[in-house]
Amino acid sequence: MNLLVCYYKLNVMKFLKITILFFFLSSNVLASITFKQSSESLNSVTLGIRGINFNPDGTKMYITDSAGTETVIQYLLTKPYDISTATIVSTTPITEAGLPHAIEFKSDGTMMYVMDNQNKRVEQFTLSEAWNSATLSHDNFFAVTNETQIRGLAFKPDGTIMYVIGAQKEIIYQYPLTTPWDVSSADDETRVLSPDLTSDENDPRNIQFNSDGTIMYIGGSGGDEINKYTLSSAYDVSTAELSDTYSVSSKSGRMRGFVVVDNGSKIFITDDIDSDPENIIHEYGVNCSETITCSDPKNDKVVVGIAESQVELSKRAIKHVTLPVIHRMGWLRRHNQKDNLTNQNIKFNFSNEMMASVANVIKVSNKKITNSNKKNNDWFYWSEGQISIGEIDGSISSSAKEIDTQGITIGADKKISENKIFGYAIQLGKDNVDLDSSNALLNTHNYSLSLYGTLMDNEKTSSEGLIGVNVLDTEHIRIKNSNKLTAQKSGNQIFGSINLTKRLKKNRFNYNPNLKIDLGYTEFESYREKSTLSNDDSDALIFDRHEIITGLANIGMIIDNTFQFKNSTIKHNGRLDYIADFSPSSELKFSYVTDQSTDHNYVLGNVATHNYRIGYGFDFSTPTGWSIIVNYEKESTNGSGHSDDLYFAAGYVPNSKTEYALNLQGSDTITAGINIVKNIKNFDFKIDLENNLFDANNNKNAKIFLSKIF
């Protein structure tokens, strides 16, 4: 048998990064950000829209009204960060704040802060219900000196520093808080001042930071633009240097406030246009190439979990393909003296092209064994099903995973000589991974072909080898900001396994120390996520081609013995293995669809180098020819997860009186049946039982035939 394995490697062209800078005498560098949508007019609710903010998951929005009503308005968003889905939940007076502007919250949502432009104060409120502004009560305040037009407000994430910006002096005031999140503890004596921002923005409206405090943004109505600053020392405004300016003047006529949310991918701007007194919210999307704060996908646990899943899948695929074959060769060792080494009897008749091609490879003979003088060219047929359920714990950088694997392996082998057996196996399998409570799903179908052989040097020593190829087809689903991103990816795998076993007998037990080495090379082709929402690929990623090398060493012991139960034979075994994973690290590159020039590289190291497996199995054979083979194995990784694997086979070895066979036939509709032929008093009784596997009504058919040859 000749195997031809073709790998098609796409040469991915790398684009040169070209940045063109336009310099103007009257302005800074202008970069574009993408306008997404504007809210409907808010005139029915507010006459003087100012500050804006969201809760962390984007399901609540808050705005302040300064046109004589002094209120904070809370909205419910049925779709996170989608202002078109906003409905009013509450309108709450904040009489303590005259002309309220910027609005901020404590990180846990139990405190709210509003910039009081009229009284030149930062007002502090306690929320009896987190993130519900309707439950506010005034708590404290801080009076800002040396500034007559205070507008913007921000806090360091731990609440130890407060930032205030005004439109009189166009500088940022950085106040240490001796008590975190308590504005009354602001230390005016040790405040830090930013450089003069007048030349950048003469009417600042708010201040924002990225997640690590190395980037700061100032937006204002002086030019209806957002200015980006880099901070050489995190959260220290004295080190701020202007790096970019982003214009929003095409939509915003008079910026009143802004907020950067969702890991920097979205900007929302409040606007009350003088010429047309409407109160509007504008949404902008930020492309990574025009970074204000582009979210690094390496910081997304789900993205990292997907990358890790590709590596884990490559190892799991080798495991679930090789172990059934190893189980088969172990069964052959234990039953080497038998004439008929078939442990199943299956007939196939598929009209589906792929399944038919598989069936054509395995042509199971139903002829009865009439004597013990078997020829070396007789093939023996076998099959094994498998079910595996596992969990992998989450980490600081990666999400948790739940794994469900199923498969069936069908094989055929024959004796080349008394101590040599050669065979091949085909496996059809399914591997499903659920990441981070279904925020991502990876559903994989695999199709493998492997060749194997065993050499029994004597009754005590055997050597086994296997080589095969595997095709992996994966459906990829990821949920990000209520956006469903999908992709199809394919992978090719070549693998090999060597297993050395020694058989030592003591009393009634056989001790089988073994050494198993698994090697594999897996290649996943590059693929691109696509949004199920029209024209919204802001969160979509392109995953580059991923090459994975797998190396596993298994050292273990299998103990088995045989005993008779009435007229049946039970061969049971237990195992204990240590598995060392010496696979080298691999690198996966990905980029945003909206910024294909910026690569994000993630190195996937070997997390679980030490693994342990325990197992129990048995062969149960009856005098009538029925056999049941079951193996249960539990594999645990060192502190990071486990899997429970069940391998099973059931079949019938035909004899001179009775013949059983399992039938699988059909195309989209698969029919399973059992054929029983039994000779009684020279009469042949035949019973056909049929069951449609996909019939919801679970209808079954039975036929009985009686015949005799005279």
Contact 462, 501 (CB under 8 A): yes
C-alpha–C-alpha distance, residues 267 and 434, integer Å: 31
The residue among 1, 653, 635, 619 whose CA lies nearest residue 328 is: 619
User: What are the structure tokens assigned to 261, written together?
Assistant: 């949310």
Is residue 626 exposed (0-12), middle (13-18) or buried (19+ Cβ within 10 Å)? middle
Phi, psi of 160, deg, nearest 5: -90, -10
Cβ–Cβ under 8 Å, residues 334 and 618: no
322 in Cβ contact with 497 (< 8 Å):
yes
Counting beta carbons within 10 angstroms of the beta carbon of residue 137, is it exposed (0 to 12), middle (13 to 18) or buried (19 or more)?
A: exposed
Q: What is the pLDDT of residue 639?
A: 59
Give the H or E element holding residue 659: strand 658-666
CA–CA distance, 430 with 451 (Å, rounded to integer): 21
Strand runs labelled E in 481-526: 483-502, 504-506, 509-524
Tokens representing residue 90 in the block: 């509450």
Q: What is the spatial distance between Cα 521 and Cα 496, in angstroms, rounded to a whole number? A: 9
What is the helix (H) or strand (E) element at residue 318, kind and residue range? helix 301-334
pLDDT at 4: 29
Q: How many CA atoms lie within 13 A of 243 on its CB side?
A: 15
Which residues in 555-576 are b (16+ Cβ under 10 Å) and which e? ebebebeeeeeeeebebebebe
Residue 110: how many CB atoms within 10 A of its CB? 16
Report residue 62 as tokens: 């808050």
Three-state DSSP state, 627? strand
Token pair listed for 229: 């600053």
Query: Which amino acid is it at 301?
Result: K
* Torsion on CA atoms 200, 201, 204, 206, rounded to nearest 10: -40
Cα distances (Å, whole numbers) of residue 525 to 11, 377, 386, 449, 461: 11, 41, 28, 20, 42
Neighbours of 16 (CB within 10 A): 5
Strand partners, 600: 590
Phi, psi of 12 (to 5 degrees): -85, 120
Question: DSSP secondary-structure letter at 531?
Answer: E
User: For residue 671, what are the contacts with CB-CB under 8 A and spacing of at least 6?
Assistant: 663, 664, 665, 690, 691, 692, 693
DSSP 15: P
Q: Which of 262, 264, 280, 260 has the alpha carbon at shortest distance from 272?
A: 280
Helices (H), 353-501: 353-361
CA 413 – CA 343 distance, rounded (Å): 11
What is d(CA 85, CA 76) in angstroms, rounded to the nearest whole number?
8
pLDDT score of 659: 54
- In this structure, what token pair is assigned to residue 98? 């005259």
3-state SS, residue 102: strand
389 Cβ contact list (under 8 Å, min separation 6): 403, 404, 405, 643, 644
Which residue in 168, 136, 167, 142 sits closest to 155, CA to CA? 142
pLDDT along the chain (710 residues), means of 10: 30 30 30 70 70 92 85 91 90 90 95 94 96 96 88 94 88 93 90 86 88 87 86 92 85 86 82 69 70 66 90 91 86 68 53 48 38 56 82 83 87 85 91 86 93 83 93 92 86 95 86 93 94 75 94 92 82 90 91 81 82 88 74 80 78 54 50 60 66 51 67
Distance (Å, whole) CA 347 – CA 661: 7
How far is Cα 417 from Cα 414, in angstroms, rounded to an integer? 9
Q: What is the pLDDT of residue 26?
A: 30
The greatest distance separating any two alpha carbons of the chain, rounded to the nearest whole angstrom, comes to 118
Length of the chain: 710
- The tokens for 140 are 């404290």
Q: Are 629 and 384 in contact (CB under 8 A)?
A: yes
- First-to-last CA distance in the chain? 45
**Structure token pair of residue 328:** 């088969």
SS3 146: coil
Tokens (6 digits) for 585:
């690290």
With beta carbons less than 8 A apart as the criterion, state whether 206 and 255 touch.
no
Phi, psi of 230 (to 5 degrees): -100, 140
Nearest to 170 by CA among 205, 130, 132, 217: 205
Side chain identity at residue 494, one-letter code: I
Are 201 and 227 in contact by the 8 Å Cβ rule? The answer is yes
d(CA 349, CA 360): 9
Neighbours of 455 (CB within 10 A): 15
Adjacent-strand bridge partners of 591: 542
Res 497: pLDDT: 95
